[in-house]
Structures are given as structure tokens and as C-alpha cells.
């Protein structure tokens, strides 16, 4: 799986067809994830899931809860119930 690049407000990975990204902002003790993007040709290969896993790990390390304002993150939590307790 590709390496996730991190900087304030953004996590990304290089893909075969560009770059996938997850955008967030911190509001107090909440990490608001408001956008994920994966190039169409790379969808369905776990790239967005890798970004979501990294985002949840980041939130946990920093004592944050996650607010999924992006439809994919809601879908990810529905499919991966172990993250449900981390959501507000």
C-alpha cells in the first residue's frame, strides 16, 4: 500500500493516475473530514480506505473524535464498525 503524505489539513497518496486526498479541519476536539478524492481509475483499490484509516489513527493519537462531513467517511464507518465509537 502506498505511503500516506501528511500535512496540516491534508493527507494524500500518489496513485497510478494522480493523487488521492483526504481533507480535514480541526474544530476543538473534533477532526472534521470534509472531502475525499480518488482518481476514477484508482477507485475500488483501497486507496480511500487507507486514507480513512490514517485519519482515524491520527485522530486517536491526538485525542480527537471524527465528524464525517464527507459521504465516503460515513460509508467507511458503516463498513468498519470498529471506528463507530470514534465518530461524533
Q: 46-64 pLDDT, tens per residue? A: 999 999 999 999 999 999 9
Q: Which sequence spans correspond to the domains of the chain?
A: 5-86
In percent, the amount of the chain with pLDDT more than 90 equals 92
pLDDT tens-digit series, residues 26-43: 999 999 999 999 999 999
Return the CATH number of the domain spanning residue range 5-86. Answer: 3.40.630.30
pTM summary value = 0.93
Q: What is the mean pLDDT of the chain?
A: 95
C-alpha cell at 61: 493519537
Strand order in the sheet with 10-15: 5-7, 10-15, 18-27, 30-37, 65-68
Neighbours of 83 (CB within 10 A): 20
The larger pLDDT score, comparing residue 2 to residue 86, is at 86
Amino acid at each position: 500500500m502506498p505511503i500516506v503524505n501528511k500535512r496540516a489539513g491534508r493527507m494524500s497518496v500518489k496513485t497510478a493516475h494522480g493523487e488521492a486526498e483526504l481533507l480535514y479541519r480541526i474544530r476543538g476536539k473534533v477532526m472534521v473530514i470534509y472531502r475525499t478524492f480518488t482518481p476514477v481509475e484508482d477507485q475500488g483499490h483501497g486507496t480511500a480506505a487507507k486514507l480513512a484509516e490514517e485519519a482515524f489513527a491520527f485522530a486517536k493519537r491526538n485525542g480527537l473524535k471524527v465528524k464525517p462531513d464527507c459521504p465516503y467517511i460515513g460509508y467507511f464507518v458503516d463498513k468498519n464498525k470498529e471506528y463507530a465509537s470514534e465518530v461524533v
